[in-house]
Structure 1
């Protein structure tokens, strides 16, 4: 329906693609997780409680694993349109239908949406419907028990982790059978 609307009503041209978008905060506070120890031995790990953080914005395409990530200092109505413009430039030859949550910065009245992007809002309080949430979990699992001293060290760790996440890896994380089936029925 949205693909028909984009091509038939809006008169846009290009390949219609479906993406999922979200933001996540990554900071210097230690991400804890499971540790393997001998039976009966309580796991121990050093932690730090610094509250300096950065935000990672991203989109992923469930059918192909195509993705685009960008770092910003905040998650707000000033940074989100900049991210949308970067996405629109990166995928300039396509019409993008982007599923996202109903965060305030996504629904701001002054938000300027690029012409090749159509926003599709998911139901409120339902992060489980957005597959990019699993990408963030996968990213953060690789950062467990890391102790970067500065935001620059953290950025380097995140960049290394994102480079390991190829299209095939992302497709395996977000390519749920139910989503792929729905997209094939929709012709996307």
Structure 2
């Protein structure tokens, strides 16, 4: 049995703002754009090992989520996989067919801070602050590079909430 935290995050051309160190009273200067072209990364991470699985889609809907679940199921065929998910409409769709080796574990509503992958999205987006890309393809390339640089150790250090690791450890001793 394996426990994964799953979520989706939007990456777009609109500039992400963030704090920058400047002289007292001086506002940061940077290139800025308001383009709303975007894509979505669906991801699942295993906090105990740092194992991760990501797929890119153009939108968030039941069909894309079904494809993600099917690919995830094929990636981890030899284990029963518990996926912690939020209460997104597409997670609870009656048209969704959850593969036999996956169990969806729904977190309480409006509690994104309970999902460890949210910190991974913050980590990735922090590296994109004040970045400006001319095309969506350039942004996709940069996000692909950032995902490729994620080692299991980095993922585990970002997503390994103590309360989750303790609970998993207690399960393994039973």
TM-score per shorter chain, which class? over 0.9
Cα drift, residue 22 of structure 1: 0.2
Structure 2 counterpart of 1:49: 34
SS in 2 for 1:57: strand
The residue correspondences of 1:28-43 to structure 2 (distance < 5 A) are 28-43=13-28
The equivalent residue for 1:18 is: 3
Equivalent positions of 1:68-147 (< 5 A) are 68-147=53-132
User: Which residue pairs with 1:154 in the alignment?
Assistant: 139
Offset at 1:39?
A: 3.6
Q: Residues 173-188 of structure 1: matches in 2 within 5 Å?
A: 173-187=158-172
- Paired with 1:150 and 1:142, the residues of 2 have a C-alpha distance of 18
CA distance in 2 between counterparts of 1:46 and 1:152 reads: 18
What SS does the corresponding residue of 2:147 show, helix, strand or coil? helix
Task: Give the distance between the partners of 1:26 and 1:177, measured in 2 at CA.
Answer: 28
Structure 1 gap ranges (5+): 1-15
Higher mean alpha-carbon deviation, 39-48 vs 145-154, is at 39-48
The unaligned stretches of length 5 or more in structure 2 are none
SS for the counterpart of 1:187 is: helix
Shift of 1:41: 2.5
TM-score, with normalisation over the residues of structure 1? Answer: 0.89
- State the 1:165 CA deviation: 1.3
- CA root-mean-square deviation: 1.1
